[in-house]
A and B are shown apart, each in its own frame.
Chain A
Amino acid sequence: MKEKTFRQDHLLGIEQLSVGDIETILETAEAFIEVSSRDVKKVPALKGKTVVNLFFENSTRTRSSFEIAAKRLSADLINFNSSLSSLKKGETLKDTVLTLEAMNPHIIVIRHPASGSPHYLTTFARSSIINAGDGFHEHPTQALLDALTIQQRLKTLRGLKIAIVGDILHSRVARSNILLHQKMGNEIALIGPPSLVPREFEKMGATVYYDIRRGVKGADVVMMLRVQEERGAKNYFPSIREYRNRFAINREIFALAKKSAILMHPGPINRDVEIETSMADGEHSVILQQVTNGIAVRMAVLYLLKGEIHEALN
């Protein structure tokens, strides 16, 4: 493994990363994929280091993914789960983190419903902070694992058309992906109803489409976002039925993308809502590969922030 060139103290978002940082993370992740394919899936890169999973939202996949990643690096990991209600009533986030820090962890992985919470932590915490999703803001490890998946399938991360379909307004996955692909110079198409895809997103280097056919046309990557029922309740759209009719991906629409195109979804998927169920399991779908890559990407991030270079990786 080559010399570490990663100079960040935290992973707050894609916004703070350079193209070089992104490439370093992806290269490191590639190296860790091999570790996960071994019979004994463990290296001592984070031996003696403590990682705290501090999750204030329900999450199975991201939390488990960080947990497995930390354990495969031989870190000690503790899970701290808290619900939003206790957050509002009980101990403040600051007191919670100061208490955890009194136990001298090295890395805190935080998932929090309020945008900017990981940034707030860096104003007083000593640990390295990893953003595992903050409000509607960013979910950087998701965009990185998506990038790794794209690179594996399409053999490049440049010169691509990335179509992202759904509730862009409330999606941290979308924001991190937009930032990443803008840095990579890719064409970005954002698709959804105007109430969920404000035109102002074009200032982030994307093009907005209200017609899924036009947006998906010629795409290399079609990324579907989970649509939340509650958005309907708040009148962002009249009903799930109408949403599905206009914005779900099916074979006919996917056929407008490039022949080599891949279908992505950050999960959890709503079968037959935003994604036709046979498509989710079809030959273009990389949804499970995304999950697998999540471990390698999170190992890479943990390692680059706090790991020791070790021969086990060579």
Chain B
Amino acid sequence: MKLLIKNGRLIDPAGAVDRVMDILIENGKFKEIAPAIKKISGCPTIDAKELIVAPGFVDMHTHLREPGQENKESIESGSKAAVHGGFTSVACMANTEPVNDNRSVTEYIIARARQVGLVNIFPVAAVSRGQLGENLVEMADLVEGGAVAFSDDGRCVMKADLIRKALEYTKMLGVPIIEHPEDHSISAEGQVNEGFISYKYGLRGMLKAAEEVIVARDLILQERIQSRLHLTHISTAGSVELIRNARKTKTPVSADATPHHLLLNEELIQSYNPVYKVKPPLRTEADRLELIRGLQDGTIDCIASDHAPHTRDDKDKEFEFAPFGVIGMETSFAVVFDRLVRTKLLTINRLVELFSTNPARVLGLKDRGRVKPGYPADLTILNLKKRFKIEEKDFRSKANNCPFLGWEGHGVVEHTIVAGNVVYSRGGK
């Protein structure tokens, strides 16, 4: 099985490549990358003239809801949504039912992903049993079973001692702890960012400090432990500054931000539309702009969607009673390219780092996020000129809780290729 991709502009930051290159794929792996590869008779060929060819995109923060909440999303529908959004690899969080806190759940997810066979799925296991914040999961066993990271995600580890032990123990496993930084005693029953808007509209607030005290706590612990710590969906200017300073003292840390925190602010909640109800909450415009600076200066390494599907009924409620979360895999690239790259806030090369090179590195996916002979042939091929309009009818996800519905712009995924198979083509399958 061969596949030839001709005339595309290959942007591969890990290999320091940005030029028109032909790429030959054989048996699911990259075979040859060269300025001109002759057409091979009988070999399927994609003409990528005028298109960008990037190492496959990696979404390091998603919720695929299987096992347990298949009415919201499944590994199958989530896989379809992922490849539609240009992702060749996704990491899925542990808050399934049952919680992914033991090897059998991790292995089940991997087996289901293989059956569906569209996208590489890398399970993130819980830090604590049942995500209860008390006792560590069997971390080594889970890593052997295929878990690539540990996170209690929405139930942030409240006990500083437990996160200390988790960071220490994972040093021997070489996998990251992904922290959703939120001090639940401060955020409590909060619904939105705490400040003038929450006060005016009578919604319980979540102080920025709820995030920042955990960011600070973890960075102080990590300064000594020197393990692998990733802070996910950073949302405040204060968090960006804490991470920036930690890097100066060579504290090992990485971070991601979501498209919704990069492109939306708290003003939207004045409509009381639960589609804008997320955790962490949409923050102020000043926070949003500082997140963009964090992407520009390297403080933030990755863009991750925190794809959190809910049923229509779940979200069709009073604001306070609706669950947190938005979907994002199918819109992440389009909105970020249109609003941050076309506006020249970021380069397309930086976007590829944020969507592929860096998340692959953070998750320790050693042969991904790079286009190199012998590596699995995962590619995302982009058309930066094609116009898009985000419409619910195009979603492959089961859910529609997307804050970008109706947005228009430029930049679409043309093809998604996983292990040499074209798993998505615009207008095709």
State whether the Cβ of A137 lies closer than 8 Å to any Cβ in chain B: yes
| Interface stretch (choices B20-28, B255-263, B316-324) | B316-324
Q: Which of A93, A138, A198, A204 contacts B202 (CB 8 A)?
A: A138
The one of A88, A198, A200 that contacts B321, using a Cβ cutoff of 8 Å: A88
Please report the C-alpha to C-alpha distance between residue A135 and residue B321 in the assembled complex, in whole angstroms: 12
Task: Please report the C-alpha to C-alpha distance between residue A119 and residue B316 in the assembled complex, in whole angstroms.
Answer: 13
Q: Which of B195, B316, B318 contacts A116 (CB 8 A)?
A: B318
Q: Which residues of B from 301 to 323 have beta carbons under 8 Å from A? A: 313, 316-321
In the complex, are the beta carbons of A115 and B272 less than 8 A apart? yes
Contact yes or no, B272 A119, CB < 8 A: yes
Residues of chain A with a CB closer than 8 A to B313's CB: 92
Whether the pair B318, A198 counts as a contact (CB closer than 8 A) is no
Shortest A235–chain B CB gap in Å is 11
The answer to whether A175 and B200 touch across the interface, beta carbons within 8 angstroms, is yes
Q: How far is the CA of A259 from the CA of B323 in the complex (A)?
A: 52
| Total B residues in contact with A, Cβ cutoff 8 Å | 17
Contact A135 B196 (CB under 8 A): no
Name which residue of chain A comes closest to B203, CB basis.
Answer: A115
Cβ B319 vs Cβ A115 within 8 A: yes
**CB-based contact B318/A120 at 8 Å:** yes
Distance (whole angstroms) from the CB of B159 to the closest CB of chain A: 21
Residues of A within 8 A of B195 (CB): 200
How many A-B pairs fall under 8 Å by CB? 60
**Cβ of B166 to closest chain A Cβ, rounded Å:** 30
Q: CB-CB < 8 A to B320: which residues of A?
A: 113-116, 135
Q: Are B202 and A135 in contact (CB under 8 A)?
A: yes
The reply to whether the CB of B249 lies closer than 8 angstroms to some CB of chain A is no
**Choice from A114, A120, A135, A200 contacting B199 with Cβ under 8 Å:** A200
Tell me the chain B residues, 191-250 only, with Cβ under 8 Å from chain A. Answer: 195-196, 199-204
Q: Which A residues lie within 8 Å of B199 (CB)?
A: 169, 198, 200-201
| Distance, CA A92 to CA B201, complexed state (A) | 23
B41 at the binding interface (Cβ < 8 Å): no
Interface residues of A in 115-158 (CB under 8 A from B): 115-117, 119-120, 134-138
Closest to B321 in A: A114
Q: What residues of chain A lie closer than 8 Å to B200, measured between beta carbons?
A: 175, 203-204
Min CB distance B189 to A, Å, is: 10
B115: interface (CB < 8 Å): no
Does B343 make an interface contact (CB < 8 A)?
Answer: no
A172 within 8 A of B: yes
The answer on a CB contact under 8 Å between A172 and B202 is yes
Tell me whether A203 and B318 are in contact (CB under 8 A): no
Chain A: CB-nearest residue to B316: A94
Query: Are A119 and B202 interface neighbours, CB within 8 A?
Result: no
The answer for the CA separation of A159 and B30 in the assembled complex, in Å, is 78
Check A114 against B201 for contact (C-beta < 8 Å). Answer: no
Q: Shortest CB–CB separation between residue A176 and chain B, in angstroms? A: 10
Bound complex: CA A112 to CA B199 (Å): 18
Produce 1/0 per residue, A86-99, CB < 8 A to B.
01100011100000
The closest CB in chain A to the CB of B274 belongs to A120
CA distance A112 to B320 in the complex (A): 11
Q: Give A40 to B202 CA distance when docked, in angstroms.
A: 41
Other-chain contact of B196, A92, A169, A172, A200 (Cβ < 8 Å): A200
**CB distance B203 to A135 under 8 Å?**
yes
Q: Are A93 and B317 in contact (CB under 8 A)?
A: yes
Interface residues of A in 194-227 (CB under 8 A from B): 198, 200-201, 203-204
B202 touches A134 (CB 8 A): yes
CA distance A204 to B196 in the complex (A): 9
Q: How far is the CA of A116 from the CA of B313 in the complex (A)?
A: 18
Q: Is the CB of A114 within 8 A of B196?
A: no
Please, what's the 1-or-0 string for A49-87, where 1 marks a CB less than 8 Å from any CB in chain B?
A: 000000000000000000000000000000000000001
Q: Give the residues in chain A near B203, CB-CB below 8 Å.
A: 115-116, 135-137
B184 to chain A, nearest CB (A): 14
CA A69 to CA B202, docked complex, whole Å: 27
A200 cross-chain contacts in B, Cβ below 8 A: 195-196, 199
Q: Assess whether A93 is in contact with B318, with CB atoms less than 8 Å apart.
A: yes
Chain B residues whose C-beta falls within 8 Å of the C-beta of A201 in the assembled complex: 199
Chain A residues near B204 (CB-CB < 8 A): 136
**A115 contacts which of B196, B202, B271, B317 (Cβ < 8 Å)?**
B202
Contact B271 A119 (CB under 8 A): yes
Q: Which residues of B contact A138 (CB under 8 A)?
A: 202
| Shortest distance from the beta carbon of A284 to any chain B beta carbon, whole Å | 29
Q: How far is the CB of B273 from chain A (nearest CB, A)?
A: 8
List the 7 closest A-B pairs by CB distance, nearest first: A116-B272, A137-B202, A136-B202, A114-B320, A114-B318, A115-B202, A200-B196
| Extra 16 A-B pairs, beta carbons < 8 Å, given A120-B318, A135-B202, A137-B203 | A88-B321, A92-B313, A92-B317, A114-B318, A114-B321, A115-B203, A116-B203, A116-B272, A116-B318, A120-B272, A136-B202, A136-B204, A137-B201, A138-B202, A200-B196, A203-B196
Give 30 A-B contacts (CB < 8 Å), ordered by A residue: A88-B321, A92-B313, A92-B316, A93-B317, A94-B317, A113-B320, A114-B319, A114-B320, A114-B321, A115-B201, A115-B203, A115-B272, A115-B319, A116-B203, A116-B272, A116-B318, A116-B320, A117-B318, A119-B271, A120-B317, A134-B202, A135-B202, A136-B202, A136-B204, A137-B201, A137-B203, A138-B202, A172-B202, A175-B200, A175-B202
- Which residues of A approach B to under 8 Å, CB–CB? 87-88, 92-94, 112-117, 119-120, 134-138, 169, 172, 175, 198, 200-201, 203-204
B residues neighboring A (CB under 8 Å): 195-196, 199-204, 271-272, 313, 316-321
